[in-house]
Amino acid sequence: MLGGFFFCAMSCVCRLAVSALSFATMTLILGLETSCDETAAAVVRDGHRVLSNVVATQHELHEEYRGVVPEIASRAHIERLMPVVEAAMKEAGVTFAQLDAIAVGNRPGLIGSLLVGVSAAKALAWALDKPLLGIDHVRAHLHAAMLTDALADNATLDAARVLYPALGLVVSGGHTSLYHLRSTTDMPVIGRTIDDAIGEAYDKAAVILDLPYPGGPNLDVSLLDKDSLDFSFSGLKTALLYRVRGQPTGRGKDATFERSANDLTSDQRADLAAAFQLAAVKAVTAKLNRAMSQLTERGEQIHSLVIGGGVSANSALRVAVRDFADAHKLRLCLPAMAYCVDNAAMIAGLACEDFTAGRRDDLHLPTIATTSM
């Protein structure tokens, strides 16, 4: 009887000790993301374990304009952000008091949209008396591949980690950039688009083809001069335009075309879409090859290939980067589908690294339309 009580008391003490230990090492961050047309909130534990990831997309509001209308986006963020935050907290099963910090994407993006998230994050941090961290959205895309389920085991967490130094690629609606990732904080840009971002090119191609994207032509893409690591997608888009509509008469907005996408059969449109995709993906892998050669020629060791951004959801691109990583014996860090497009889990996850390193922002945190990297 007494032995039973002693065993029970000991196991309670042990359990308390274990929970105190895990509590001591646990960092819980609420992230907010409103840089473009997704209103998102997420709670992430220890930088990797996603307890909740709520995204309210505004696609239906911008569809008829075939592009994001900034004023509509800001207004929708105002209406949706607090319900999204409440849903993220409920799904995570944590209280505001348990949070260690509030993180927010404060650059780059549409200024009116960013301001909604940043103002809300400041209000929460102030009201809850919690630290505030502003996070670069593009840098956060490079953290997305390291996010796991809440209950992931240690082997899964280890396999998702980036081995530095690494080659990084962000392919989104606003960015197509290559990075030499020396560490989590030292990540110089080594190539970027000189015109349209790859996601923007996909979106415009879909408009030209009168398709829900992706769309595209059977044409090659400019690789710029022979050593350049920069990208150019506007030539590909224009080539598609001419292939679909024929040669224009007149210039600019007065141009008239021989035909429209509606004059093509659905097979012709599907062929052009597939060819556009092939050319766009080929442009990306050509630059990855070039970057690897240049870095290894300089004696740099590269251990991982880290991909992020909305276009990393593209099936052809996912296959191509997997083949590239295999050929170069690199660990491939590719986000799960849910973390490719804009989300707040990547904001909260990256914030944990900065938080652990001691970085803090205050209520003067600026909102910046351009990227810092």
Q: How far apart are CA 41 and CA 28, in angstroms?
A: 13
Q: Indicate whether 36 belongs to the interface with ligand KG4 (CB under 6 A).
A: yes
CA distances from 237 to 22, 210, 261, 269, 362 (A): 52, 14, 14, 14, 43
At closest approach, how far in Å is the CB of 198 from ligand KG4? 7
On whether the CB atoms of residues 233 and 198 are closer than 8 A, the answer is yes
Q: Which residues of 115-134 are buried (b: 16+ CB within 10 A; e: fewer)?
A: bbbbbbbbebbeeeebbbbb
- CA–CA gap between residue 372 and residue 48 (Å, rounded): 23
* Residue 313: CB minimum distance to ligand KG4, A: 4
Window 172-201: residues binding ligand KG4 (CB under 6 A): 172-174, 199-200
Binders in 166-225 for Zn ion, by CB under 5 A: 172
Per DSSP, the three-state class of 94 is coil
Q: How open is the CA angle 261-265-267, to the nearest 5 degrees?
A: 115
- Give CA–CA dist 63/372, Å, rounded: 30
Query: What is the smallest separation between the CB atom of 141 and Zn ion, expressed in angstroms?
Result: 6
Q: Note whether 202 binds ligand KG4 by CB under 6 A.
A: yes
What is the smallest separation between the CB atom of 340 and Zn ion, expressed in angstroms? 9
Q: Nearest to residue 241, comparing CAs of 219, 223, 222, 267? A: 219
CB nearer to ligand KG4: pick between 152 and 211 = 211
From residue 133 to residue 172, the character string flagging contacts with Zn ion as x (rule: CB under 5 A) and all else as - is: ---------------------------------------x
Find out whether 171 and 307 touch, Cβ atoms under 8 Å: yes
Closest to Zn ion by CB, 105 vs 191, is 105
Radius of gyration of the chain (CA): 23
Extended beta strands in the chain, E state: 28-33, 38-45, 49-57, 101-107, 132-136, 148-149, 166-171, 176-181, 189-192, 304-308, 331-333
CB nearer ligand KG4, residue 191 or residue 214: 214
Q: For residue 278, state whether it binds ligand KG4 (rule: CB under 6 A).
A: no
Nearest to 134 by CA among 370, 367, 317: 367
Q: Taking the complex as a whole, how short is the minimal distance between the CB of residue 85 and ligand KG4, in angstroms?
A: 20
Q: Which residues from 58-117 bind Zn ion, rule CB under 5 A? A: none
341 binds, among Zn ion, ligand KG4, none (CB under 5 to 8 A by kind): ligand KG4
Ranges within 298-317 binding Zn ion (CB under 5 A): none
List Cβ neighbours of 141 (8 Å cut-off, separation of 6 or more). Answer: 170, 172, 175, 308, 309, 346
CA dist., res. 346 & res. 343, Å (int)? 6
Q: Show the binding pattern over residues 203-232: x = contacts ligand KG4 (CB under 6 A), - = does not.
A: x---------xx------------------
In this complex, which beta carbon is closest to Zn ion, that of residue 284 or of residue 292? 284
Closer Cβ to ligand KG4, 131 or 342, answer by number = 342
Our finding on whether 313 is near ligand KG4 (CB under 6 A) is yes
Of 54, 103, 341, 344, the residue at the interface with ligand KG4 (CB under 6 A) is: 341
Binding site partner of 199, from ligand KG4, Zn ion, none, Cβ cut-off 5-8 A by kind = ligand KG4
Q: Residue 260: CB partners within 8 Å, gap ≥ 6?
A: 210, 244, 245
Q: Which does 304 bind (CB under 5 to 8 A by kind): Zn ion, ligand KG4, none?
A: none
The size of the interface with ligand KG4 (CB under 6 A), counted in residues, is 17
Residues engaged in binding ligand KG4 (CB under 6 A): 36, 172-174, 199-200, 202-203, 213-214, 309-311, 313-314, 341-342
